[in-house]
Structure 1
Amino acid sequence: MQLRLDKTNYTIAKFPPNFPVPIWFQASIATFKSITYTDEECSIIIPTESLETEKSESIESDWFLLKIEGILDFSLTGILHKVATPLAEKEISIFAVSTYNTDYILMKQSNLTEATQALSQAGYQILE
């Protein structure tokens, strides 16, 4: 399995659940950005340089991104588990996001070298 590495510095931010989709989110031309609403919160993941934090309730910065390459069929099982296991064995925390097509895994920038080494040793090809 191939993983695409994105070393961009991402931030994960929490906003109130009624927070409207901000202009700065819409205007960002990032290759990855995510906004999720629940009845408890609005979570936004976006490159740090694009984020405006004036109404954020909480912010976690300094994340990088790995994308599982290819379109994953809904019948496939255990994909995220297989990628997360070598990271968990190294005690590397992840923040996973799934889309219709594939899965994305965010990890802290401080774990970049150790994470890519662990995944390479587990047989994953990491593309930049």
Structure 2
Amino acid sequence: MTVQLVLNALPGAYAVTRRARNMPVPDWAHGEGLVSVTQAPDETSILCLEDRVPAAEQCSGGWQAVQVSNLVDLDVPGVVLSAVQPISQAGLGIFVTSTFDRDYLLVRAAESIAARMAWITAGHHYCDGKVTYRLAMPSDGEALAQVHFETWQETYAKIAPPEVRLALNLAHRKRYWQARLETAAQTLVAEVGGRIIGLCALSGCAAEVDHLYVLNTARGAGVGAHLLRLARNFSATVGNTQVTLAVVKENTQAVGFYAAQGGRVVAEKQDKGPLWKSDNLIFGWPVAKQVATA
């Protein structure tokens, strides 16, 4: 049984400490964040924020904690399996701890991007602060078209010819996204309060980013960079060694952004499309299954 989950990232790095069975729970274990004390016949384990654990303690640090925000009864089947299975299938480590109301998942912080993408591609929603990341659904067509139309028109207001901007109107974008969402190509979305604020659309083989747009009002918070990292990780999981993205050369803001994200220009080409023969830079990123979280 698969349950669609809402996963909420908790801030900070966590550690699990092993102590002898008869040792009391120390004062440093108490404080902010998730705290779990498990006493077993042969040991006591303490889970808490890593920066509170003294250096002399035997511990395993560097864990990212994620809360399963769904409120379900204790005996509802499939909740933990739905959370753990995508991570296991991705070849990543995970452990689970639970309270009366919720389950908590811990993955290695260095593998957190891979874990997020595994959950997202399994159909779960991943919340990082106020922003939720998920896969686009057919019902998102109109909202995606609005983001695409608005950001493209703003970006290319002084770059694209007027007749091109007129032709690529909202109705055109709606038809495009309605057709695209019927294909197998993956589109990631970022939303706040149920409103889509950004999108990242991959080609069918996931070797190319076809679109990466974030509303102007949502820029500067790292949403575009995070969408790109997720896309790079997904591209690696389906066997690609590089992911590319084309950007119009005159779009200097985007060119600077992609360079800042570690992309390098691997080619140049002219888009010979029927509307606009634009000069494009092709950025490339080598990809691996674990993409850095920085």
Corresponding residue for 2:24?
A: 20
1:19-69 per-position Cα deviation (integer Å, ceiling 9, x unaligned) = 10111123x2x2211111111111011111111254x3x311100011100
1:51-100 per-position Cα deviation (integer Å, ceiling 9, x unaligned) = 1254x3x3111000111003220230121111111111111110110111
- Hey, what's the Cα distance between the residues in 1 that align with 2:64 and 2:11? 5
Give the direction of change, closer, same or farther, for the CA distance of 1:7–1:117 in structure 2 (3 Å limit): farther
Corresponding residue for 1:111?
A: 111
SS, match of residue 21 in structure 1: coil
| Structural RMSD (CA) | 1.3
- Hey, what's the Cα distance between the residues in 1 that align with 2:124 and 2:70? 14
Corresponding residue for 2:247?
A: none
Report the TM-score, using the length of structure 2 for normalisation.
0.41
SS, match of residue 107 in structure 2: strand
1 or 2 for the larger relative contact order (CA 8 Å, sep ≥6)?
1
- Hey, what's the Cα distance between the residues in 2 that align with 1:31 and 1:61? 15
- Quick one: which amino acid aligns to residue 111 of structure 2? N
- Quick one: which amino acid aligns to residue 63 of structure 2? W
Q: Which runs of 4+ in 1 moved over 3 A?
A: none
Corresponding residue for 1:5?
A: 9
SS, match of residue 123 in structure 1: coil
Give the direction of change, closer, same or farther, for the CA distance of 1:95–1:112 in structure 2 (3 Å limit): same
Check whether the contact 2:33–2:49 (CA below 8 A) recurs between aligned residues: no
1:50 lines up with 2:74 in the alignment: no
1:64 lines up with 2:64 in the alignment: yes
SS, match of residue 31 in structure 1: coil
- Hey, what's the Cα distance between the residues in 2 that align with 1:15 and 1:75? 31
How big is the shift at 1:101? 0.9
- Hey, what's the Cα distance between the residues in 2 that align with 1:78 and 1:14? 29
Q: Which has the larger radius of gyration?
A: 2
Number of aligned residues: 124
1:32 lines up with 2:34 in the alignment: yes
How big is the shift at 1:7? 4.1
- Hey, what's the Cα distance between the residues in 1 that align with 2:107 and 2:11? 10
- Quick one: which amino acid aligns to residue 2 of structure 1? V
Identical amino acids, percent of aligned pairs: 22
More helix per residue: 2
- Hey, what's the Cα distance between the residues in 1 that align with 2:120 and 2:107? 16
Check whether the contact 2:33–2:48 (CA below 8 A) recurs between aligned residues: no
